A and B are shown apart, each in its own frame.
Chain A
């Protein structure tokens, strides 16, 4: 399989949407921590589109609902505030 064959035709749009969803999730993290402590949250267009304790279950339910889910930001929301030190 060549590199070209691994590309989806709309990869640029998927990547942009995924990154914007990720930023909006980061911006909403404090609210999400209150509402969905220690759960996986799926975020798209500034909304929670799914949440579950189990990541695989969440991905499966999203896939059934949306088909492709590559553009959706999914993250575990720890009940404890963890500081990322870079």
Chain B
């Protein structure tokens, strides 16, 4: 039996977009955003673009272990005691995130830097756990976990 049911939408290329409200109470931040569902990601990751859009101050965050992926290495900052609220019908389901990773790329090329900032934030397995179902009708997506 699954405990939570949240909604998302699927693009024609198969990308699954999940709407969420990121709440950082200590900083007075509540930012509407979208996360891309990534069952291959161990952690939920806030992209540099989303972090910039919400005015996140990296200097207030703990520095984590650099992230290594196919795209190279990026700095990781740790956001503690944040909340992610997901849409479930007419309700918001709030998930307390003890730890959220915020990515910051070190790239000189201004165009590549902008492109990297446009990468989506990722919804990973730390939210989904190991038991989940994803159902899509080709437009709307339901994720139960």
Q: How many residues of A contact B (CB 8 A)?
A: 33
Report B's interface with A, CB cutoff 8 A. 7-13, 15, 17-21, 23, 25, 28-30, 32-34, 36, 38, 40-41, 49, 53, 70-71, 83, 85, 87, 90-92, 94, 111, 114-115, 117-120, 122
* Closest A residue, CB atoms, query B40: A86
CA distance A19 to B86 in the complex (A): 12
List B contacts of A1 (CB < 8 A).
25, 28
* Closest A residue, CB atoms, query B88: A12
CA distance A21 to B140 in the complex (A): 13
Q: Report yes or no: A85 in contact with B70, Cβ–Cβ below 8 A.
A: yes
List A contacts of B118 (CB < 8 A).
75-78
> A-B pairs with the 8 shortest C-beta distances?
A15-B19, A6-B30, A19-B19, A26-B11, A76-B118, A78-B115, A70-B32, A76-B114
**Which residues 1-19 of A have a CB within 8 angstroms of B?**
1-3, 6-8, 11-12, 14-16, 18-19
A-B contact pairs, 11 of them (CB 8 A): A1-B25, A3-B25, A3-B94, A6-B25, A12-B92, A19-B8, A19-B34, A27-B13, A73-B34, A78-B115, A80-B115
